[in-house]
Chain A
């Protein structure tokens, strides 16, 4: 299987371990990623609140590049990139006037949309059976709070592969790894996202709510598929500890890292050593798969 790959800025920077683990896992699953040559920023976080035209033009430029390289199916692991790419294509389809304007702006013809997949859709494509059959480790002692955040399954009209308010698709993947997904309350609650930079206090409050609920429900680890969510939930725990002495931290993994653990990949290969909060308590629960 082969997909176009749009890493976006996060996966080539702050979320390197996401990129690393995804590539390692896909290698085991025999899936090839072809990075879009000459890709550029998708405009997430800032473009859509400052300049509508720019917020469409940036993703569209990348789609055009991908199509030129013959890539009709693109994986965008970052939830924000995914949302921007899908939304921009949707707008191009609906609004002919906008299409002409954007084509003028990027100085290229729009050749129609490409299929864009987020992390969950990617693993749905490659198949849960594939994960199950290549499993090398036993994660059955690990209790997982699957965290979707706000973008992964929204807006419901575009990302309609799952219920926007009460999604379950990540749980299905986690079940395939052998780990135990938990029933908890804040799967789709906002973590504060890009306010992390300008209004840290908001992010601390919102992220703490999420972490608290996961801990209260007995989670060993929170699993996410969004670099923004990951950085807020993982990195901000240090500040939360400073203001709340009773707060007990909880590791946060990317979905690809959890799958990697199930496939028998090690800490280094998955970039698990790059997190702020130590994942060691979780790693201690990984057991060798009993030979049947």
Chain B
């Protein structure tokens, strides 16, 4: 076999600590190597041309490139050799950057190590075989999980491109947190006015199938071919016959037994309810935990008044299976609960701010409801305890966010802006009121964002105090806010009528479970992880699974919408072709040797091991053996490791290739 070795300087990245010229020189003497050279940027066009030229001139059979991680440029080099007539899988990459130059500083030893890495790759490539990519069909239908603004945007984009979308929302209505907001920064558009037309569009779109009040039960399969089980929770109302007239809601005798989730606990709701007037779908849900019928077997008032006979107390959760080719996770965020006992959370409480203890200490979403024209106070700024207009109001930013002592390392990003908006809305409605904002820094990066904050300070006279609040307590009906003005170097005490806490955004509680179902990593806060923070921000480690919105990290509406469209575009890229090509790095069973013990099946994390019957010419069953579904196999190699008869091998990482690498490493070659 004739092997060519190509060493990349990667500008200074490798060249600074590895003597690339010397590596090339030494590697030229390795057995099998007929060509060896170093070049400043091997991934560049001239660099690739060097490879192509050498292949043609020296008739190479295989190529070893010493460069950056194969994650970066393996595909580039495979393409290059392929265009010169060699099978693309006859390329091996020795990672001289991440595994060598970046982590060492001593030039001679780094150079020594680089040579070792090349030697290993050369020995491996001698056992490489030409492979062909696997082709799998694509189901041109997308699943969008979460019906907030991100999910809505993704669903509409994909549907408008002509492909089917299945949209799953766990709440009774789509709309998410955006439907709860009063106005939006920095334009002060009414949130519902811009959102509800989109919600209706989703509902009426012929290409979108909406499952509200539903959750993801299971996800199987792989890119282009996912099989998803959706649990449609019992609503106790037949959604196909209900007209949304609302009579059941009006007549329900249980009036005030549950806190209204949509109003963030500032109002109550009956046992049968629609979350808010513009809900989509406009179909009520019966809350079986408080409904009299479910508790005592009596009442049935809703059933009696329903003219369509839509009430069905016997309804059960329903499992629905759908086939999709791409999945977009858009599950959003929730607000950090700041009362005393956070449920086995990594975050600590904020008891010192008295949330949950004092009625007039509210969080940001509660203030949105208070300021909203459709909210419990019809948009008048009235405090919860006695419905009086607060004349002095304190807003506290970074409650949780950036507070390591409470378990948060990150910035929630939207609070500086929405606090400025809250203070502004307050000043617009309570002209003689005083508004104070305690802040750490004002982070107002974004189009017209800084201008918006300046407007709050300069035009609306909101008083910004740089410093933290140590404690809030009630004294003579006032909330005493004790804090520090770090610019003046003074202690501050404000006797406020109401306090609004900008609490941190946190991941949904179910996000880790969903991430596990989707096979994607998540961070310690439960936020889902993208595959590359800069260049692949919406893709995940699971091919065909994309992220949109705040399930990835705290973000505001414009960013969520942009990300949602990006995720939709990525799904559409998949749907652009009828078949997908996959790397052939999958396990393969040696059918002669396999004894059918199925150890491999037990350890396979991807359910990729199936059974296959081997029969003789007469059709008699000889044995039942393992068979790898190459669509499902992720090439992890676990089956390979456990097989007692060594009958499973991982293509591209066969035993003889790995042993060749180990032997090469143990060879005493260079001093």
Q: How many residues of A contact B (CB 8 A)?
A: 14
Distance to closest chain A CB from B484 (angstroms): 14
Contact among A168, A183, A185, A216 with B471 in the assembled complex (CB-CB below 8 Å): A185
| C-alpha spacing A183/B357, complex, angstroms | 10
* Distance of A164 Cα from B406 Cα, bound (Å): 10
- A residues 147-172 in Cβ contact with B at 8 Å: 156-157, 163-166, 168
Task: Annotate B451-479 by CB proximity to A: 1 below 8 A, 0 otherwise.
Answer: 00000000000000000001101110000
- In Å, the complex CA distance between A188 and B471 comes to 10
Q: How many residues of B contact A (CB 8 A)?
A: 13
Residues 197-216 of A contacting B (Cβ, < 8 Å) = 213, 216
B348→A163 contact, CB < 8 A: yes
- On chain A, the residues within 8 Å of B473 by CB distance are 185-186, 213
Cross-chain contact A164 with B349 (CB below 8 angstroms): no
Contact residue among A156, A166, A183, A189 (Cβ-Cβ distance under 8 Å from B405) = A156
- Check A163–B471 contact: CB distance below 8 A: no
Residue with the greatest number of chain A CB neighbours at <10 A, chosen from B349, B357, B473? B473
Q: From residue A211, how far is it (CB to closest CB) to chain B in Å?
A: 15
Q: Tell me whether B351 is interfacial, beta carbon within 8 Å.
A: yes
CB-CB under 8 A from B471, the residues of chain A are 165, 185, 189
A164–B351 touching, CB < 8 Å: no
CB contacts (< 8 Å) of B348 on chain A: these are 163
What is the CA–CA distance of A165 and B406 in the complex, to the nearest angstrom?
10
B residues less than 8 Å from A213 (CB atoms): 473
Complex: A189 Cα to B482 Cα, angstroms: 11
Name the residue on B nearest A184 (C-beta).
B473
Is B350 close to A, CB under 8 A?
yes
Of all chain A residues, the one with the shortest Cβ separation from B472 is A185
Kindly list chain B residues whose C-beta atoms are within 8 Å of the C-beta of A168: 340
Q: CB-CB < 8 A to A165: which residues of B?
A: 350-352, 470-471
Please report which residues of chain B, range 386-410, place their CB below 8 angstroms from some CB of chain A when the two chains form the complex: 405
CB distance from A192 to the nearest CB of B (A): 15
Q: Which residues of A contact B474 (CB under 8 A)?
A: 185
Shortest distance from the beta carbon of A191 to any chain B beta carbon, whole Å: 15
Report B-chain residues with C-beta under 8 Å of the C-beta of A185. 471, 473-475
Question: A164 is contacted by which of B340, B357, B405, B475 (Cβ under 8 Å)?
Answer: B405
State which residues 332-349 of B face A: CB under 8 Å.
340, 348-349
A166→B405 CA distance, assembly (Å)? 13
Q: Which residues of B contact A163 (CB under 8 A)?
A: 348-349, 351
Residues of B within 8 A of A156 (CB): 405
Q: Which residues of B contact A216 (CB under 8 A)?
A: 475
A155–chain B nearest beta-carbon distance, Å: 9
Tell me the complex Cα distance, A164–B352, Å: 9
The interface residues of chain B lying within 8 Å CB-to-CB of A157 are: 405
Chain A: minimal CB distance from B399 (Å): 12
Bound complex: CA A149 to CA B357 (Å):
22
Residues facing B in A167-182 (CB within 8 A) are 168
User: Complex: how many Å from CA A213 to CA B49?
Assistant: 81
Q: How far is the CA of A280 from the CA of B352 in the complex (A)?
A: 33
Bound together, the chains give a CA A164 to CA B474 distance in angstroms of 20
State the Cβ distance, A107 to closest chain B Cβ, in Å. 38
Residue of B nearest to A165 (CB): B352
Report the nearest B residue to A216, measured CB to CB. Answer: B475
CA–CA, A89 and B351, complex, Å: 29
Closest residue to B474 on the A side, CB-wise? A185
Measured in the bound complex, the distance between the Cα atoms of B473 and A166 in whole Å is 12
Per the bound structure, the CA–CA distance linking A185 and B471 in Å amounts to 9
**Distance, CA A209 to CA B475, complexed state (A):** 12
Q: Which residue of A lies closest to B404 (CB)?
A: A157
Set of chain A residues within 8 Å of B405, measured between Cβ atoms: 156-157, 164
Question: CA–CA, A165 to B471, complex, Å?
Answer: 8
- Give A97 to B351 CA distance when docked, in angstroms: 39
Q: Roughly how many angstroms separate A157 CA and B351 CA in the complex, as a whole number?
A: 17
A213 to B473, CA, bound (A): 10
CA gap between A31 and B479 in the complex, in Å: 45
Bound-state CA distance A73–B639 (Å) is 50
Shortest Cβ gap from A221 to chain B (Å): 20
| C-alpha gap A216/B480 in the complex (Å) | 15
Can you list, as one digit per residue, whether each of A96-120 has a CB less than 8 Å from chain B (1) or not (0)? 0000000000000000000000000
User: B487-498 toward A: CB 8 Å interface, digit per residue (1/0)?
Assistant: 000000000000
The closest CB in chain B to the CB of A156 belongs to B405
Residues of B contacting A166 with CB < 8 Å?
340, 349-352
- Give Cα A194–Cα B630 distance, bound, in whole angstroms: 73
**How far does the alpha carbon of A156 sit from the alpha carbon of B403 in the complex, in Å?**
12
Task: Give the CA-CA distance A213 to B475 in the complex, in Å.
Answer: 9
Chain B proximity of A213: nearest CB distance (Å): 8
Instruction: Point out the residues of chain A lying under 8 angstroms from B350, CB to CB.
Output: 165-166
Give CA–CA (A156, B471) in the complex, Å: 16
The closest CB in chain A to the CB of B351 belongs to: A166
Q: How far is the CB of A35 from chain B (nearest CB, A)?
A: 35
Kindly list 16 other residue pairs between chains A and B, CB separation below 8 angstroms, not including A163-B348, A165-B470, A185-B473.
A157-B405, A163-B351, A164-B405, A165-B351, A166-B340, A166-B350, A166-B351, A166-B352, A168-B340, A183-B357, A185-B471, A185-B474, A185-B475, A186-B473, A188-B352, A216-B475
B contact set with A: CB distance below 8 Å:
340, 348-352, 357, 405, 470-471, 473-475
Of the A-B pairs whose beta carbons lie under 8 Å apart in the complex, a sample of 12, sorted by A's number, is A157-B405, A165-B351, A165-B352, A165-B471, A166-B350, A168-B340, A183-B357, A185-B471, A185-B473, A186-B473, A188-B352, A213-B473
User: 9 closest A-B pairs (Cβ-Cβ)?
Assistant: A166-B351, A185-B473, A165-B352, A166-B352, A156-B405, A163-B348, A163-B351, A163-B349, A165-B351
